[in-house]
Amino acid sequence: MSQESTVPGELGDPAAITAEVAEPGAVTIVVPTFNESANVRRLLHQITESVPSRLPCEVLFVDDSTDDTPHVIEEAAKDCPFPVAVLHREEPVGGLGGAVVEGMAVAGSEWIVVMDGDCQHPPSLVPDLVATGERAGAGLVVASRYLTGGSRAGLAGSYRVAVSRVATWLTKSLFPRRLHGISDPMSGFFAIRRSAVTAEVLKPLGYKILLELAVRSRPRQVSEVPFVFQERFAGESKSSAREGLRFLRHLVGLRTASPLARMAVFGLIGVSGFVPNLLALWALTHAGMHYVPAEILANQLGVVWNFLLIEHLLFRDRRLFRRWWDRLGRFALLANADLLLRIPLIALLVGRSGMDALSATALALVMTFVLRFVGTEALVYLPRRPLRNRGRAA
């Protein structure tokens, strides 16, 4: 459960939020934090020095910390000339991206600026982001390290620089149309209009929320502003191999959002299943087993292989609809039914349609593949209809 605390009479007060919305150009700065108690005082000081004199603002920390960060924020907020609030989440659903989405949902200003809590994003750029958006009529303004005048100097070490380069190249290669005009899709520093946020389509996972916004609900007009990525003021980076894996899963989820893309990935996973299938067949036959039972057992290994990849790469967000053993049983049944259906289908195509065996086999493979994909979506990973609806339908 989330818990919100505010400086008295400020952010979180419905009247105060309404007043902010009515004032064009006002901004809510959303800062997701995880154990950043050593940085928040400096961050609020930097915001105080550079933002309120140029632009009315409020600051919302969405906090997943396990340390005293919420308390430090509340104490530091007493010296701030603008509203400050802390929304502490007991369950950090969706990671940093989920925190940002929750913050956007309660932000009270026309513009929302998202920035990190480690002081690597300069608050002095906040008014420029909003001003650029107003001048260009843009719905999204990205602070980019890759424009002229920008720099990624604050990235610690050649390893993080290399990872950032690869991740940027990969995302732009996978989404060339959606990310057109965005030179830094991995940026965590950007401004977006409230009207451009379609929260219901967002499925945040990990810390690259800009990518999620750009791909699922990108505004038509996007602008960029160069910025110099600063060194972290205190503490250590939260980037890790685990976050890297979450990022890759997020990329797959975004790329397979359409049925056609899901079908393509489903097919690639199916092809990969031939590897464990053939290895198991070779091992079992060399151990002296007859090839028929060996093929039956080897095929089951391929089924398990395909199931695990589909579970983690293709339908990860649908696994809650059924228990794992129910999903596995249904998937195995469909995979083995595919074999039983294919042989009579080939015979029918050869006997009735006069096709040669090779063409009939190829066509049967395509037909059963499509049926297996549709069946997997409908029978394994789509939610079950509520019992009360079944009764009405009957």
Do the Cβ atoms of 77 and 47 come closer than 8 Å?
no
Residue 109 phi/psi, 5-degree rounding, is: -120, 165
The confidence score (pLDDT) of residue 384 equals 61
Cα(57)–Cα(83) distance, rounded to whole angstroms?
7
- Those residues with Cβ within 8 angstroms of residue 7's Cβ, 6 or more apart along the chain or in another chain: 74, 77, 78, 80, 83, 84, 85
Which ranges in the chain belong to alpha helices (H)? 14-21, 40-50, 69-77, 95-106, 126-136, 157-174, 209-217, 241-255, 259-272, 274-286, 291-309, 324-353, 357-375, 387-393
The residues, ordered by sequence, that sit 6+ positions from 119 with a Cβ below 8 Å of its Cβ are 39, 42, 43, 46, 230, 232, 233
CATH class of 2-236: alpha beta
The per-residue pLDDT for 153 is: 63
The helix (H) or strand (E) run that includes residue 115 is: none
pLDDT, position 8:
37
DSSP 209: H
Beta bridge partners of 140: 192, 222
Residue 257 host element (H or E): none
Q: Where are the domains of the chain?
A: 2-236, 259-393
pLDDT of residue 13: 44
- CB 262 within 8 Å of CB 154: no
pLDDT in 10s for each residue of the chain, 394 residues: 455 555 433 454 433 333 333 244 489 999 998 888 888 999 999 999 999 989 999 999 999 888 888 899 999 988 899 999 998 888 877 777 788 888 888 888 889 999 988 888 999 999 999 999 999 999 899 999 888 887 766 555 565 667 667 777 777 777 777 778 888 888 889 999 888 777 665 766 656 788 878 877 777 789 999 988 876 655 555 555 565 666 677 676 666 666 777 777 788 888 887 788 778 878 888 888 876 677 778 878 888 888 888 887 778 777 777 888 888 888 888 887 877 777 787 778 777 777 776 777 677 777 778 888 888 888 888 776 544 444 443 3
